[in-house]
Structure 1
Amino acid sequence: MFDLDQRAAGVLLHVTSLPGPHGIGDFGPDAFRFVDWLSDAGQTLWQWLPVNPIGPGNSPYQSVSAFAGSPLMIALEGLVAKGWLATPCLPEGGFDAHRVDFGRVVAWRSARLREAYAGFLAKHDPGERAALAAWAEAEAYWLEDYALFMALETAHGGQPWWTWAPSLRDREPAALAAARREHAAEIGYWTWVQWCFDTQATALKRYANGRGIAIMGDLPIYIAHHSADCWARPDLYQLDSQGQPTAVAGCPPDAMAPTGQRWGNPLYRWERMASEGFAWWTDRVRRALGLADVFRIDHFRGFAGYYEIPASCPTAEEGRWVPGPGKALFDAIEKALGPLPIVAEDLGLITPDVVELRDGCGFPGMAILQFAFGGDASDPFLPHHYRRNTVAYTGTHDNDTVRGWWNAASAHERHFAGSYLAAGGHDIHWAMIRACANSVANFAVFPLQDVLGLDTAHRMNIPGTMGDHNWSWRFTWPMVDEEAKRVLGLITATSGRGPWALAGTG
């Protein structure tokens, strides 16, 4: 069980941002090398973004499944080592080492997985077949619906589930039984893909844990409309008889978004989930804890109160706040699974009921240092206001890098930050990292871009935008020099978050 009360430090880097020859970061050799780098730098946390399959805009927060893993993260080297796949020939010109070209990468890697599955069917030994069968049986609570969903999506050319024949859309038993027979081979493929994902993900987690590194996952609060989850249990969501949302998620208008944010995710029928003892959420958390030691829940405020927008409204202007499930949800999950190693993403419009829920559950909240310098010394994001039960960040995947923030900051922000941190443009990233590390917050987490002092060109995501600039950033090993590891290790050690030996003797 991961101890949320320990004093720890770590790095935020999504798996897809790792180096590697096959177009996108994965669970291959470079992931293990990065674990070694983290350990050598005295880190005890590696934070990922969601590892579910990507959705529209290549976002990991809009997935076809809340339970499945991304096929893109399966390392091809492992399939070659098994003898299921020949050493892949890269497409002409290879892949960009600095950015993920999702259009090329998805098609190319999907073809390689199909080849490897054919190799598995032809060459597997009885032990491998037995291991796959045992795993599939243990994961059947989500896997059976997911594999059938993906087989049907493939058969329908990627069309959303509510456009399928009514008998399949509405999950009539006879139609589902016929589909399982007709698409048995495709169901077998998607089952095997998830087995490969789990086998590799758990091997990496085991290696990381052995080197003293805990994996911190990320759990989006909402699911996508076109998802196996929504199709499998439409009664758990605010949908009409045609499978269309009657209300969707979002945020109200504010100074930054005059018409609000309309995310479009279907909202839960919390009363139905409560009547089942929140079994779906318990299963989801159980699955998350199989892949990570601790995890962040995105948009935690939605459990205290969520913003409900009529589906007919094209903006978020007509929404209303509705009470969420509150502590009853987490009490039910904890009763089934034991103490919950959860970090609450409590950013944005935080009202007293959100604070009460977070503190009542005992979950750490988040503090973003970049947010601290727009006002004065009373700003709650300044480190001298932090509580112990907090995760202190220089920034997250949704923020600019520290150096990018500095370059775009107002004169007031630069003056305040420079005075508070005793820093300037040349060392602002280390000053912010040091301030987070020296704070009383139990956890301090830094995006790798900030450890490396990179500018805006290297940010991971710009919220509210679509385009190739989002989710595609990757680093290369020459960028990660020994000096960055040395300085990060010194800061970590001298702030009581890592082995003192890293501080050296002189």
Structure 2
Amino acid sequence: MDINEDNLLAHRRAGVLLHITSLPNENGSGNLGVEAYNFVDFLHNAGLKVWQTLPLGVPHGDGSPYQCLSAHAGNPGLICLEELKQKGWLQEAGQCDTCETGDDDFLNCLLAKTYTGFENLASVEEKQQYVNFCTNKSNWLDDYALFVALRNEFSQQCWNQWPEPLKERKPAALKEARRRMVSAIEIIKFEQFLFYRQWMALKEYANNKDVLLFGDIPIFVSYDSADVWANRAVFKLDKTGQMSVVAGVPPDYFSVTGQRWGNPHYDWNYLKKSRFAWWNDRLRSQLEMFDILRIDHFRGFEAAWEIPASEDTAINGEWVKAPGHELLAAVKKEFGNIPLVAEDLGIITAEVDQLRTDFNLPGMKILQFAFGDTNSNPYLPHNYDHNCVVYTGTHDNDTTLGWYNALNDHDKQRIYRYLGHPQVSMPYLLIGTAFSSVANLAIVPMQDILELASEDRMNTPGTIEGNWKWQFSWAQLTEAQVTRISEIVKVFSR
């Protein structure tokens, strides 16, 4: 496989959707350590050529990777401490006198110890790599590190609750804060260095094993983020920095009241005047980390659902146009043709389809949405073209087995009738359907390979409890499942 080929999305491939936190780990959520490399080996050995993850940013307290403190920074919680111990930089792992094991303060304490070890033991070359990293990422890293240091100082309060001079980024206040918190800022930058160092090593390993890394970009960013604090002109905010409208989607398959995400909307007039520099910077960071990118909620580039900030639900919003064509033209001018996938689920209009096709971006097909009452359903395989990505389900869906078990007998019979009454059971029936389709790329969640039911789903949209916590163990993966998925890959030339 040549990751420099003209169009990575133009060839038949198959892959797995699994977030890093879902990797096995006896001591907490998954990380960028040995199990990540083991997962690449599993993919390679099975003939699966793509690993799709969820966004890798720094989440808020709810753990959602779609609401992060930065559009650029990586989650320090994904750093493998064991690798730091092996380097000799962390010599007291597991020991922190003032913090509870496993919480954020505990991790921060250990990473601070790692910074001390790095200063004392790192080679000249490694120290220069750190200096180069800070210089190369300074366009976002300086603001992010100061933002996190201040947020920690103010007990995780949102930036709009900070003292006025810091909230308004008065130069004298920022200068004094950088002086006062110089040590804390340095450690936050060092955490990012460690994250990127480990991620890029994993990416190199994966690419050498013929595995592409497939990332996810939420179209909107969190209001409580370094991006909004440092770039208020990019967003629709009033003079005091407050939001009058917030992002979301109207009632749909997932929720009868819609989804009120609460993110700020973009000030597209400002972005047009600045030639979309903020978006190009964001994409540049992600293109360094991933081979393929998905734009979550792509339809927001054509029109986005604006909800009055005073509303508790997403029902009373309106569609407001966005300059998606101009944005994507600016992206193409900056980067050329890049491997972007458009998440075009939900309420999709002819204008959204036209925007996607104008730039030859593959859309998404979800088999769990396919089996309604009409053969014109766009998610039925006979309606696909090559330029799409087919999924059994995504992180927002139930597992395929859970979805199937919840259907009535009539709906189950409709599925088997469409698929020719095969003797294959779920979820491998739907996996085989995805892999046999004409879609260039087929992706299945790891839960489906493991034949897991509803209790193992990753996220239930519209809810805030119990999401983003699922992990698998290698004991769940049988030899029969490995053989089965490998055979499906071979039979359908993926």
Q: CA deviation at 1:56?
A: 4.0
Q: In 1, distance between residues paired with 2:134 and 2:117?
A: 19
1:372 deviates by: 1.1
Which amino acid is the alignment partner of residue 252 of structure 1? Answer: P
2:33 is aligned with 1:28? yes
1:19 counterpart SS class: coil
Structure 2 residue corresponding to 1:218, chosen from 204, 216, 224: 216
Distance in 2 between residues matched to 1:87 and 1:213, nearest whole Å: 35
Match of 1:432 in 2: 430
The match for 1:307 is 305
Superposition pairs of residues 28-107 of structure 1, within 5 angstroms: 28-86=33-91, 88-89=93-94, 104-107=102-105
Could you tell me how far 1:420 is from its partner in structure 2?
Answer: 2.4
Q: CA deviation at 1:105?
A: 4.7
In structure 2, the partner of 1:12 is: 17
In the superposition, the TM-score normalised over structure 1's length comes to 0.93
Contact 1:230–1:237 (Cα < 8 Å) also in 2: yes
Q: Partners of 2:95 and 2:421 in 1: how far apart?
A: 45
Q: CA deviation at 1:89?
A: 3.8
Cα separation, 2, equivalents of 1:193 and 1:424? 51
CA contact (8 A) 1:45 1:216 kept: yes
Q: 1:206 to 1:466 in 2, by over 3 A?
A: same
Tell me whether 1:176 sits opposite 2:181 in the alignment: no
Partner of 1:273: 271
Q: Is the 8 A contact 2:399 2:448 kept in 1?
A: yes
- Counterpart code for 2:57: N
Alpha carbons of structure 1 residues 488 and 64: separation in structure 2 relative to 1, 3 Å: same
Question: d(CA) in 2 for partners of 1:258 and 1:460?
Answer: 20
Q: Structure 2 vs 1, CA of residues 21 and 243 (structure 1 numbering), >3 Å: closer, same or farther?
A: same
Distance 1:10 1:87 in 2: 38
Deviations 1:155-198 (A, max 9, x none): 11111111111111011111111111111111100100000000
Structure 2 residue 474 is the aligned partner of structure 1 residue 477: yes
- Residue number among 380, 385, 391 corresponding to 1:387 in the alignment: 385
Whether the aligned pair in 2 keeps the contact of 1:423 and 1:431 (CA below 8 Å) is no
Which residue matches 2:114?
Answer: 116
Task: Give the Å deviation of 1:122.
Answer: 3.2
CA distance in 2, matches of 1:317, 1:458: 30
Secondary structure in structure 1 of the residue aligned to 2:194: helix
8 Å Cα contact 1:374/1:412 also seen in 2: no
What SS class does the counterpart of residue 215 from structure 1 fall into?
strand
What is the alpha-carbon root mean square deviation over aligned residues? 1.8
Distance 1:158 1:202 in 2: 29
Distance, in Å, in 1 between the alignment partners of 2:213 and 2:107 is 25
Q: Which moved more, 1:161-170 or 1:306-315?
A: 306-315
Shift of 1:392: 0.5
For 1:270 and 1:124, how far apart are their aligned partners in 2?
45
Query: Is the 2:252–2:346 Cα contact (8 Å) retained in structure 1?
Result: no
3-state DSSP of counterpart to 1:367:
strand
CA contact (8 A) 2:94 2:101 kept: no
Compared CA separation, residues 90 and 49, structure 1 to 2 (3 A): farther
What is the deviation of 1:457?
1.1
C-alpha contact (below 8 Å) 2:255/2:461 kept by paired residues: no
Name 2:149's counterpart in structure 1.
151
Could you list the per-position Cα deviations for residues 426-485 of structure 1 after superposition, in whole angstroms to 9, with x for gaps in the alignment?
Answer: 721111011111110000000010011111111100111111x21001011111122211
Aligned to 1:3: 8
Going from structure 1 to structure 2, the CA distance change for 1:37 and 1:259 (only over 3 Å counts) comes to: closer
Distance (Å, rounded) in 2 between the aligned partners of 1:418 and 1:161: 53
Q: CA deviation at 1:144?
A: 0.8
1:4 to partner: Cα distance: 1.2
Structure 2 CA distance for partners of 1:103 and 1:297, relative to 1, 3 Å: farther
> Quick one: structure 1 residues 377 and 15, their matched pair in 2 at CA, closer, same or farther if it must change by over 3 Å?
same
The normalised TM-score by structure 2 is: 0.95
Aligned residues: 486
What is the CA distance between 1:411 and its match in structure 2?
2.4
Which string of whole-angstrom CA distances, capped at 9 and with x for unpartnered residues, describes residues 322-343 of structure 1? 1111211011112112212100
Does structure 2 conserve the Cα–Cα contact (< 8 Å) formed by 1:22 and 1:90?
no
1:228-287 deviation line (CA, Å, top 9, x unaligned) = 000001111111222211111112245764443221101000110110000000000000
- Render the CA deviation track for 1:5-61: whole Å, top value 9, x for unaligned: 011100000011001233111110010011010000001100000000112421000
Name the counterpart of 1:504. none
Tell me the equivalent position of 1:488. 485
Task: Give the 3 Å change call, closer, same or farther, for CA 482–254 of structure 1 in structure 2.
Answer: closer
Deviation at 1:395, TM superposition (A): 0.4
Task: Give per-residue Cα distances to partners, 1:292-344, cap 9 Å, x unaligned.
Answer: 00011100000001111121222223311111112110111121122121000
Answer yes or no: is the 8 Å Cα contact 2:111–2:187 preserved in 1: no
Write the distance in 2 (CA, Å) between the matches of 1:456 and 1:88.
Answer: 36
Corresponding residue SS for 1:57: coil
* Alignment-derived partner of residue 249 in structure 2: 251
Residue type at the aligned position of 1:190: I
* Equivalent residues of 2:236, 2:267 under 8 A apart: yes
- Amino acid corresponding to residue 32 of structure 2 in structure 1: F
Matches of 1:104 and 1:356, distance apart in 2: 48
Determine what percentage of the aligned residue pairs are the same residue: 44
The one-letter amino acid of 2:157's match is Q
User: Comparing 123-132 with 341-350, which one deviates more in the overlay?
Assistant: 123-132
Quote the residue 1:190 is aligned against.
188
Residue 411 of structure 1 corresponds to 409
